[in-house]
Amino acid sequence: MKIALAQLNYHIGNFEQNTQRIIENITLAKAKGADIVVFAELAICGYPARDFLEFSEFISLCEEAAQQIAKHCVDIACIVGLPIKNEVLEGKDLYNAAYFIEDGKIKAITKKALLPTYDVFDEYRYFEPNTKFECIEFKGKKIALTICEDLWNINDNPLYVSCPMDELIKQSPDVMINIAASPFNYRHDEDRIQILADNAKKYKLPLFYVNQVGAQTEIIFDGGSLVFDETGEVKAEMKYFEEDLQVFDVDEIQNVKNKYPQPDRASDITQIHDALIMGIQDYFRKSGFSKAVLGLSGGIDSAIVCALACRALGAENVMAVLMPSKYSSDHSVKDALDLVNTIGCKHEIIEIKEAANAFDSMLAKPFTGLAANLTEENIQARCRGIVLMAMSNKFGYILLNTSNKSECAVGYGTLYGDMCGAIGVIGDVYKTQIFELARYINKDGEVIPENTIVKPPSAELRPDQKDSDSLPDYGILDQILFQHIELQKGSKAIIAQGFDEALVQRILKMVNLAEFKRYQTPPILRVSPKAFGMGRRMPIVGKYMA
Amino acid sequence: MKIALAQLNYHIGNFEQNTQRIIENITLAKAKGADIVVFAELAICGYPARDFLEFSEFISLCEEAAQQIAKHCVDIACIVGLPIKNEVLEGKDLYNAAYFIEDGKIKAITKKALLPTYDVFDEYRYFEPNTKFECIEFKGKKIALTICEDLWNINDNPLYVSCPMDELIKQSPDVMINIAASPFNYRHDEDRIQILADNAKKYKLPLFYVNQVGAQTEIIFDGGSLVFDETGEVKAEMKYFEEDLQVFDVDEIQNVKNKYPQPDRASDITQIHDALIMGIQDYFRKSGFSKAVLGLSGGIDSAIVCALACRALGAENVMAVLMPSKYSSDHSVKDALDLVNTIGCKHEIIEIKEAANAFDSMLAKPFTGLAANLTEENIQARCRGIVLMAMSNKFGYILLNTSNKSECAVGYGTLYGDMCGAIGVIGDVYKTQIFELARYINKDGEVIPENTIVKPPSAELRPDQKDSDSLPDYGILDQILFQHIELQKGSKAIIAQGFDEALVQRILKMVNLAEFKRYQTPPILRVSPKAFGMGRRMPIVGKYMA
């Protein structure tokens, strides 16, 4: 039996396009001699469809698409994920399911049992967990089909009490197939391989795993579909951050060692780089835009976003706006222009002095006798926000946000100013990682100017300002933030590791007080195990650690 | 046995204050002769604590607070809600639980079984559902204690398969107690009374129900704790939108009819009014601020927010900023000043011309040859946003957002302009309800100027602009929006009701395209069954209905 794994880039709710891509790949798999082609979890509607799932017309469209796909499953079978109605009217309205289609007909339905609700996941909001398990018989073989998380309760994972494969194995299957929507983070690929290998080993069965690829706003799928033999050895690893279709012979895979070469594991920074490129591309393509605008300050954050945007969209589609003020250093404009000239994107220079002066004058009466302070710094940042949004509105550019994760965490940014944008490109990348990313971007020749990388970070909103005036050294800050955000440690646990008590308390307080700002920031491309956004839901008017 | 129901206003994560209030009310209940005092669901940490619950130090603080409270339970017992660790290390880390405390010691623990995950709820993200049920014995009576949703599977509610009271009733309890965190919406009080009455009737037991009161950012608890006799008759209804403590004799309540008078049911608009006042008050009090700023246009939306803010915070704590432009009509400033004079709040008049001209001049080069359009309208709205945020930053005012639900729905607003603010006061109130609310505010004398109510709505961003240039009549618009947002109907179902096909499709498309704006708007005080925010989670780059 030959199995094709089709690793595709779906678009949430775009039934026409998803259906067309699925049908194209059924045809392709058939041409390559496959007996069955396997698509990912919820492939028909895209993942995560969120509250679209609560609209019954949306669910009907999924079913209609499946019927259309079924017509093309002649001389080839197909497994494809979609939400289906829970007809018994007890429990949640839906199941997260997969259809097994053969001879143009839906022959079997598999439902997901383990529904993640941690981090970015909300599956229990929509789906009833499955409790009945049955293998699929096809071409004389029994297939144990599971959906994503269903294989993740191995190794005594305490999160789940049931184990779908422990039920399915009683029916003596010949092969395991798992269809997934497994979001990328730079630590996830190795965990995924380990968990899946452990399943193959435990159940002594070959395992075919198909993931999806592409970004759905903030959530990025990296692909990397996998094949294991019954000893848990990786026999094939499909492309990362690209669509792919490969055909495997089930009987051959069990006997032949290392037929399919494995690439070297990519570094965290390589993966982050590729994920961000895909995140930008898919945000634009799936929302029907092609051109980006951003503010280019001469600093490292906006330089990196500019470089990534040019790689993702083409330099000809990127407009960099330089907006110097009286506090901008001489080198800022030069560094920004050096980048623009190297990279070949469009640029405008628009000084903000006139608008900043206008606000000073308009506010002179209410502000009489009061010294300039953070208010006036914020006005400058917000004037830049207006200019960028005006460029966006006038020319149909999408504004890219350039805030990094360290700034987002401690609230070192101006709401409605530098925190504007449709999508946060590097909001899940700590400042210390930003420097690594700059070096990675420059690995084949200087793109980000050296001076941009080595100069001390500054917001340049008052004379001789440096980030280090307000914030601790990024090396220390990022370590403490990682403990608190990624590892969810409180102040006591972090202090116990030897960090300065007052510093830890100050930073955690800043993180919590900035919750009201983060609530209003753009969605952020998720590349870490714990990004700001849907995966981290904090009270705003809450007092813990604030 | 005398039961005290303590209906308090908690603050998420403010352990010091919550514990102190609980202890004060234990003392008060004891002084009133109660044998036991009952506090609400998750009273110790506040509801919803969201991902604070994922920090083990947070859970430890809950336990420490409970131990402190226990010391005060001498000569009186107490039931109090808190999250506790799931010690068996299988399933989720926590239970949503209640301690029964007697003689200074925790004598019994009750855990919640039915965990809501719809709308604003995320309980399955944190909590393991309970499966073992046991009554509490106290003073010769058996108490069937349940937590909120545990009583909501009556009347063939298909959402849940288990029914905690069906288990508890087997132990022949004498009385039911339910502790809740039941968020307000203007339709919820009657549903709540019905469901609880049905429980009392079904199990033939008196029922004591304690809710909490107060706002936690966007979620508002209305109180209205209830006592039912074993026939399901309401014997007592406690205060709405206020703290309250009342003591009831269990034996007396079963025999005496209507001892406690029920107030007339408040109208939807009365409830919305009172909820918004509490929402504003608690946002300020719990975040440590006292003064508000808002932009006052002369239109009805900002007039209402101004009136509500003055009632909530005192007129002396409200700063209204009038920001006329060349497109403002003559009556706008007059209407705004009429309101300010009636209501007695502070005001400033700051014309935006100078800043708007500055941006025109700064953008003259890139905009060469292009006609003024929506871009220039947005610049005006954003200039106002900068002025308001400058007032906020300089004087420590919190900016109130004045967008209504109809505008939020269709994206009729400028991101980083009139969509700025820390909290959206009327973002869950449709424009048609806004007019009703204005009449209600004026019921004892004109506060909102008559001309503000009767003039045609306009954003005044270009000459002679009217909302009706871009939007259908609010009467029709709001009906279609209600079908789509509150009732989650798709276009086919709405068109089938007789609404114009093209209009329905146009409106639903606007709603879906505005998702990217709503993602960046402030939290919105929730008064309806389906508010924008945590309770409505939509994809941004999704194509369904767009």
Q: Give the closest of B385, B393, B493 to A374, CB-based.
A: B393
Reported as a pLDDT band with limits 50, 70 and 90, residue B254 is low
Q: A122 and B537 in contact by Cβ < 8 A?
A: yes
Are A229 and A248 in contact by the 8 Å Cβ rule? The answer is: no
Tell me: is residue A298 an annotated ligand-binding position. yes
Question: Is a pLDDT exceeding 60 seen at residue A469?
Answer: yes
For residue A170, what are the contacts with CB-CB under 8 A and spacing of at least 6? Answer: none
Q: What is the mean pLDDT of chain B?
A: 95
B460 or B380, greater pLDDT: B380
Position A258 scores a pLDDT of 52
Residues of B in contact with A511 (CB under 8 A): none
User: Quick one: CA dihedral B100, B103, B104, B106, positive or negative?
Assistant: negative
- Residue A463 CB coordination number (10 Å): 8
Q: Is the pLDDT of residue B78 over 90?
A: yes
pLDDT of A546 over the 80 cut: no
C-alpha to C-alpha distance for B66 and B105, rounded to whole angstroms: 10
What pLDDT sits at residue A155? 65
**For residue B86, which of B121, B56, B42 has the smallest C-alpha distance?**
B56
Q: What is the band of A463 on the pLDDT scale with cuts at 50, 70, 90?
A: confident
Whether residue B379 is predicted with pLDDT greater than 90 in this model: the reply is yes
Mean pLDDT score, A2-8? 97
For residue A191, pLDDT over 60 is answered with yes
**Through-space distance between the first and last CA atoms of chain A, rounded to whole angstroms:** 60
What domains can you pick out in chain A, each with its CATH number? 2-254 (3.60.110.10), 271-467 (3.40.50.620)
- Minimal Cα–Cα distance from B241 to chain A, Å? 18
Q: How far is A286 from chain B (nearest CA, A)?
A: 6
The string of pLDDT tens digits covering residues B518-529 is 999 999 999 999
Please judge whether A358 and B355 are an interchain contact, meaning their C-beta atoms are less than 8 angstroms apart: yes
pLDDT band at B156 (very low <50, low <70, confident <90, very high): low
B528 is known to lie in a ligand binding site:
no
What Rg, from alpha-carbon coordinates, does chain B have?
26
CA distances from B19 to A312, A441, B73, B110, B179 (A): 54, 53, 13, 20, 17
Beta partners for residue A36, in sequence order: A3, A77
Q: Does the pLDDT value for residue A1 go beyond 70? A: yes
Residue B517: closest CA among chain A residues belongs to which residue? A422
How confident is the model at residue A264, as a pLDDT? 72
Q: Is B302 annotated as a binding residue?
A: yes
CA distance A454 to chain B (A): 32
Q: How far is B94 from chain A (nearest CA, A)?
A: 11
Pairing of strands B36-38, B2-7: parallel
pLDDT band at A272 (very low <50, low <70, confident <90, very high): very high
pLDDT on residue B154: 77
Between chains, do B379 and A358 touch, taking CB under 8 Å as contact? no
CB contact under 8 A, B385 and A382: yes
A91 is an annotated ligand-binding site residue: no
Q: Judge whether residue B381 has pLDDT over 90.
A: yes
**Residue B255, pLDDT score:** 63
B298 is known to lie in a ligand binding site: yes
For A73, other C-beta atoms within 10 Å of its C-beta total 24
State residue B468's pLDDT score: 87
Predicted ipTM of the assembly = 0.96
The 10s digit of each residue's pLDDT in B262-292 is 567 889 999 999 999 999 999 999 999 999 9
B546:A160 CB<8 A: no
Q: What is the pLDDT of residues B191-241, one digit of tens each?
A: 999 999 999 999 999 999 999 999 999 999 999 999 999 999 999 999 999
Mean pLDDT of chain A: 95
Residue B508 pLDDT exceeds 80: yes
- For residue range A413-461, list pLDDT tens digits in order: 999 999 999 999 999 999 999 999 999 999 999 999 999 999 988 888 8
Q: Does residue B465 carry a pLDDT above 90?
A: no
Q: List the one residue out of A403, A410, A514, A414 whose CA is nearest residue A462.
A: A414
Q: Which of A48, A51, A354 sits opposite B361 (nearest CB)?
A: A354
Chain A: nearest CA to B331, how far in angstroms?
22
Q: What percent of chain A has pLDDT over 90?
A: 89
Rounded mean pLDDT of B124-151?
Answer: 96
Residue B10: its pLDDT value, please? 98
Under an 8 A CB cutoff, do B362 and A379 touch? Answer: no
CB contact under 8 A, A161 and B366: no
Rounded to the nearest 10 degrees, the angle between the axes of helix B300-313 and helix B431-441 is: 50
Q: Are B212 and B43 in contact (CB under 8 A)?
A: yes
**In terms of Cα–Cα distance, which of B92, B102, B3 is closest to B54?**
B92
Beta bridge partners of A98: A81, A110
Cβ of A394 within 8 Å of Cβ of B536? The answer is no
B-interface mutation test, from A92, A217, A492, A543, most B Cβ less than 10 A away: A543
Smallest CA–CA distance, residue B246 to chain A, in Å, is 28
**Nearest residue of chain A to residue B494 (CA atoms):** A57
What digits encode the pLDDT tens for the residues A347-402? Answer: 999 999 999 999 999 999 999 999 999 999 999 999 999 999 999 999 999 999 99
Q: Which residues of A498-510 are buried (b: 16+ CB within 10 A; e: fewer)?
A: ebeeeebeebbeb
List helix spans (H) across B315-373.
Answer: 330-343, 353-362
Q: What is the pLDDT of residue B260?
A: 52
Q: Which two tokens stand for residue B47?
A: 């509801």
Give the DSSP H or E segment for A389.
Answer: helix A374-395
Instruction: Supply the residues of B annotated as catalytic.
Output: 41, 112, 148
A252-263 mean pLDDT: 61
Average pLDDT on A108-126 reads 97
Residue B495, Cβ neighbours under 10 Å: how many?
Answer: 17
- Which residues on chain B are in Cβ contact (under 8 Å) with A11? 541-543
pLDDT (tens digit, 9 = 90+) per residue, A482-540?
Answer: 999 999 999 999 999 999 999 999 999 999 999 999 999 999 999 999 999 999 999 99
Contacts of A534 in chain B (CB under 8 A): 537
Q: Would you state the pLDDT for residue A465?
A: 85
What would the mean pLDDT of A465-478 be, rounded to a whole number? 91
Q: What is the pTM of this model?
A: 0.97
C-alpha span between B447 and B452 (Å, rounded): 10
Q: Which of B373, B389, B546 sits opposite A378 (nearest CB)?
A: B389
Chain B residues touching residue A320 (CB < 8 angstroms): none
Q: What is the DSSP letter of A372?
A: P
**Which is the catalytic residue, given A112, A291, A405, A431?**
A112
Cα-to-chain-centroid distance, residue B375: 34
For residue B418, give the chain A residue with the closest CA.
A416
Under a CB-based contact definition with an 8 Å cutoff, are residues A447 and A339 in contact? yes
pLDDT score, position B461: 85
Nearest CB among B216, B522, B544 relative to A539 is that of B216
pLDDT of residue B49: 98
Interface contact B89-A158, CB threshold 8 A:
yes
For residue B160, what pLDDT is reported?
A: 81
A296 marked as part of a ligand binding site: yes
